[in-house]
Chain A
Amino acid sequence: MENFERLKEIVTQYLPDDVDANQIKMESNFTQELNINSANLVDIVLDVEDTFDIQLENEDMDGMQTVSDALKIIENKVA
Chain B
Amino acid sequence: MHRVVVTGIGVCAPNGIGLEAFEKALVEGISGITHNQELEKLNFSCQVAGKPNIDNVNLNEYFNKIQLKGLNSSGIVYGTIAGLDAWKNAGLELQFQEPDWDSGIIFGTGILGVDKFREAIYKVDAGNVRRLGSTSVIQTMASGISAYLGGIIGLGNLVTTNSSACTTGTEAVLMGYERIASGKAVRMLVGSCSDSGPYVWGGFDAMRILPTKFNNQPEKASRPMSASASGFVPGSGAGALVLESLESALTRKVPIYAEILGGEANSGGQRQGGSMTAANPIAVQQCITKALENAKIVANDVDAINGHLTATTKDPDEIVNWSTALKCSGKDFPFINSFKGHFGHCLAASGSIECVGTVLQLRSGNLYGTMNCEDVHPRILEQVDASKIVTHSLDFAPKIIAKASFGFGDVNCCVIFRQFKK
Q: How many contacts A-B (CB < 8 Å)?
A: 22
A14 within 8 Å of B (CB atoms):
yes
Are A42 and B65 neighbours in the complex by a CB distance under 8 Å?
A: no
Contact of A13 among B69, B134, B135 (CB under 8 A): B69
Set of chain A residues within 8 Å of B69, measured between Cβ atoms: 13-14, 43
A65 within 8 Å of B (CB atoms):
no
Are A42 and B133 neighbours in the complex by a CB distance under 8 Å?
A: yes
B97 within 8 Å of A (CB atoms):
no
B37 within 8 Å of A (CB atoms):
no
- Chain A 1-39 interface residues, beta-carbon cutoff 8 Å to B: 13-14, 16-17, 37, 39
Interface residues on B, range: under 10
CB distance from B408 to the nearest CB of A (A): 34
Are A40 and B66 neighbours in the complex by a CB distance under 8 Å?
A: yes
Set of chain A residues within 8 Å of B133, measured between Cβ atoms: 42-43, 46
Measured in the bound complex, the distance between the Cα atoms of B135 and A37 in whole Å is 12
Measured in the bound complex, the distance between the Cα atoms of B64 and A58 in whole Å is 28
Are B66 and A46 neighbours in the complex by a CB distance under 8 Å?
A: no
CB distance from B138 to the nearest CB of A (A): 8
Measured in the bound complex, the distance between the Cα atoms of B134 and A14 in whole Å is 12
Are B134 and A39 neighbours in the complex by a CB distance under 8 Å?
A: yes
CB distance from A21 to the nearest CB of B (A): 12
Are B66 and A13 neighbours in the complex by a CB distance under 8 Å?
A: yes
Set of chain B residues within 8 Å of A42, measured between Cβ atoms: 133-134
Nearest B residue to A15 via CB reads B66
Between B64, B65, B66, B133, the greatest number of chain A beta carbons within 10 A of the residue's beta carbon is seen for B66
Measured in the bound complex, the distance between the Cα atoms of B133 and A41 in whole Å is 9
Are A46 and B65 neighbours in the complex by a CB distance under 8 Å?
A: no
Measured in the bound complex, the distance between the Cα atoms of B134 and A76 in whole Å is 25
Measured in the bound complex, the distance between the Cα atoms of B69 and A13 in whole Å is 9
Interface string of B69-109 (1 = CB under 8 A from A): 11000000000000000000000000000000000000000
Between B70, B133, B135, the greatest number of chain A beta carbons within 10 A of the residue's beta carbon is seen for B133
B421 within 8 Å of A (CB atoms):
no
Are A40 and B65 neighbours in the complex by a CB distance under 8 Å?
A: no
Are B134 and A40 neighbours in the complex by a CB distance under 8 Å?
A: yes
Nearest B residue to A14 via CB reads B66
A17-B64, A43-B134 known; 10 new pairs, CB 8 Å cut-off, are: A13-B69, A14-B66, A16-B66, A17-B65, A40-B134, A42-B133, A43-B69, A43-B133, A43-B135, A46-B133
22 inter-chain pairs at a CB distance below 8 angstroms, sorted by A residue, are A13-B65, A13-B66, A13-B69, A14-B66, A14-B69, A16-B64, A16-B66, A17-B64, A17-B65, A37-B66, A39-B134, A40-B66, A40-B134, A42-B133, A42-B134, A43-B69, A43-B70, A43-B133, A43-B134, A43-B135, A46-B131, A46-B133
